[in-house]
Amino acid sequence: MATSGQAAKKNEEAPVRVLIVDKMWGSQLLEGSKTWEMRRTACKIRGRVLIAYAGTGMIYGSVDVVDSKPLTREDWLMNVDKHKIPPDQLDEYGKYLNAWVVEEPKKLAEPIPYEHPQGAVIWVRLDSRYENYL
């Protein structure tokens, strides 16, 4: 039986990352109409990641995370075309001032299930069985 330390190490070595997003934003990422995923913190991760819609336990596609940019509120307002949040929602979403820049969206023909660990909110790590879906 693996100890909690061994389980944590195995999870850190998992090669596939899944970004959890709300369906409304995730579908726009996978269509390519939304190229900035807005978050409160910067993203250090680069490369191909899977996209899952929050609360579904399903993976819908993948994107390439290529950059992370801190924004001012003015930047946020000038780039609505990239993040798709309406300007009149600045008060609600204005706390999300880090743009995670994504490219090369790839939507899966059919969503695939994955096991969502309890407490995971932004990222999930999966093993190499999911590499073919990147």
The full set of domains in the chain, from first to last, is 12-133 (2.30.130.30)
At residue 93, the pLDDT reads 86
Residue-level pLDDT at 77: 94
The set of residues, in sequence order, having a beta carbon less than 8 Å from that of 110 and lying 6+ positions away, is none
* pTM: predicted TM-score of the whole model, two decimal places: 0.88
Q: How high is the pLDDT of residue 1?
A: 41
* Per-residue model confidence as pLDDT tens for the chain (134 residues): 444 444 444 445 568 999 999 999 999 999 999 999 999 999 999 999 999 999 999 999 999 999 999 999 999 999 999 999 999 998 888 899 999 999 999 999 999 999 999 999 999 999 999 999 99
